[in-house]
Structure 1
């Protein structure tokens, strides 16, 4: 019996071990990791052949023409410890002095399944007509912060699923003005495409990381409201008119700023005050401006409408309290429907009075005239 037990004991141990491992694989969830960017694929080290499902096509024998081409990439600030991995910096941001030289790096990741050719370059930032962050077109030469950057390698070929770390140098000019200077470092890929009219156009796709440089010196944050204009719109209901308010927000300082805006439209002595719902101002770069138009409903026609716009700067907590700005406008808001009704009433009264006067004059003439309705009747002589 002992001999039999010794023979089956290894099989029992093997069966128990296999069962426990299978149970653990079924019950325990797979671990996962998250990062700023997807991890770079690592080739498998297990050479064990995997079973192939006869119903599925063999990837090695797939027709290349039927394989979906995936082109996806990202450029991010390089990690401080491992330049081959993206760090936790959302952008390239520096505090510098005129004449400084900054050495850094960016990492370009090719997440697609095909080799890609990239152009890596720096450019200037700006605000578009909606106030959003924007960049110069790819064929425009930068003249501000983008011109301070030298990229280690402008044209780069990155294989599928790989990454390349590129050194960058930022030379702050000796005469750089104090304040914020903004740009970006981009990785672009150009490919031919067919336009709406059938012509071949060059499609430039690009992505990258923002570049913020604050040059030391006298900082002067200033966000101002200008050119407030109010247009009143009449309605049949004297209390139900509306107004269109247009104003301009200007960053007159040397620091990038956003702003919280409030506004009101009211009649004399604050009668019929209406609050204007206004959007917050996005971050405006120094020298940029944004024009905003808002519609205000239920504005009473009280002959005159007074508009007030106020802005409180945001986004520069490190500079302490920044004084806000105000803008005002006055416009004519007559109760046109009521005035027309009053005018009609006045004309009606004048017409009625004219008719009454005409009737009174006619009656007076009839009373004063002799009665000649009976023939042969002579008027009696008047006593001397």
Structure 2
């Protein structure tokens, strides 16, 4: 078969194109992951062997208040140079005491660092979270989670405090404070109701608040009342509940009145107070002059005395007005 240079060159170009990746394929490849620090930190296996993927990924400790709990951290250095690592705890790890806060690991060596966690005597039962942090002096950082459960009786308690209602001529704002008086984390539910002199004014069913409330913590909250009454005296009651039987409630008074009613009330009271004594005084003066005209005429008729002049005419008219034929 005769040799054809053009065909051979074309074949070589196609072969080269098949081997070299196209720019689109090269761009589609992900960037290389950053190189690891060369050392690692993990909870030490109970057997003393090197940590494996199937071993525990975090520390879990459990004990009553006043208990001292112990565990070990494993530091591995597979590199060919020495590595210095600093250690510290955070969160619940603040109760942690390390055998050494700085460890130097020789090349291709694994170090085991003991530590203890002392649960305070006044710690409330419940779950705590934290971490053991390892930082390399030459770079790199590792975080090992730590979960701690403080055992003991669980108490769920919740109070509603500092309830007040503010607003005039528009929407009102109900302010209050929720306090977790127990030793467990609570997710409170709050219900609102208001009752006035003329009947119910507000009914708001219980709803779960968006955030949890840690033991011993207090949070200030508000409720908007879009359409409070314009004229009424209202008692507002807030009721909070949570899991474990936690329950608390508190009330506040809210009086709504238009401006003209507020201004007119003192005037009406003064007018009523001034008219009453005057009427009583007039009645007493008439009684002190010998009684009513009818009583005077009756006494004179019984005694045979004959009234004269205008006095007789007034007495006769009074008797006629009180006789059996008189009209009411």
Shift of 1:235: 0.8
Is 1:335 matched up with 2:256?
yes
Shift of 1:289: 1.5
Q: 1:120 to 1:211 in 2, by over 3 A?
A: same
Determine the structure 1 residue equivalent to 2:80.
Answer: none
Is 1:148 matched up with 2:96?
yes
- Partner secondary structure for residue 202 of structure 2: coil
The within-5 A match list for 1:359-374 is none
Correspondence for 1:103 among 72, 88, 107: 72
The within-5 A match list for 1:282-321 is 282=212, 284=214, 287-298=215-226, 299-300=228-229, 302-312=232-242
The answer on whether the counterparts of 2:192 and 2:206 sit within 8 Å (CA) in structure 1 is: yes
Shift of 1:30: 2.8
Determine the structure 2 residue equivalent to 1:61.
Answer: none
Q: 1:335 to 1:292 in 2, by over 3 A?
A: same
Deviation track 1:240-296 (CA, whole Å, cap 9, x = no partner) reads 43322222223x23x5x2414323142256432356987433362xx5312323243
Task: Give unmatched runs, 5+ long, in structure 1.
Answer: 43-74, 109-116, 126-144, 158-163, 190-205, 313-321, 358-381
Deviation track 1:331-356 (CA, whole Å, cap 9, x = no partner) reads 221224365155156258649979xx
Determine the structure 1 residue equivalent to 2:30.
Answer: 32
The answer on whether the counterparts of 1:246 and 1:291 sit within 8 Å (CA) in structure 2 is: yes
Say which one has the larger Rg: 2
The answer on whether the counterparts of 2:158 and 2:241 sit within 8 Å (CA) in structure 1 is: yes
Q: Which has the higher helix share?
A: 2
The answer on whether the counterparts of 2:43 and 2:144 sit within 8 Å (CA) in structure 1 is: no
Deviation track 1:2-30 (CA, whole Å, cap 9, x = no partner) reads 3424x666644431122234564524763
Correspondence for 1:184 among 131, 135, 149: 131
Is 1:94 matched up with 2:25?
no
Distance 1:263 1:168 in 2: 52
Task: Give unmatched runs, 5+ long, in structure 2.
Answer: 78-83, 280-308, 313-328
Is 1:212 matched up with 2:147?
yes
The answer on whether the counterparts of 1:265 and 1:276 sit within 8 Å (CA) in structure 2 is: no
Shift of 1:226: 1.6
User: Between Structure 1 and Structure 2, how many residues are aligned?
Assistant: 253
Shift of 1:120: 2.9
The answer on whether the counterparts of 1:149 and 1:168 sit within 8 Å (CA) in structure 2 is: no
Distance 1:258 1:82 in 2: 40
Q: 1:272 to 1:227 in 2, by over 3 A?
A: closer
Correspondence for 1:122 among 82, 89, 94: 89
Correspondence for 2:18 among 20, 24, 41: 20
Deviation track 1:161-203 (CA, whole Å, cap 9, x = no partner) reads xxx99855343559987643444334689xxxxxxxxxxxxxx
Distance 1:167 1:293 in 2: 49
Distance 1:341 1:88 in 2: 75
Q: 1:292 to 1:84 in 2, by over 3 A?
A: farther
The TM-score with structure 2 as length reference comes to 0.54
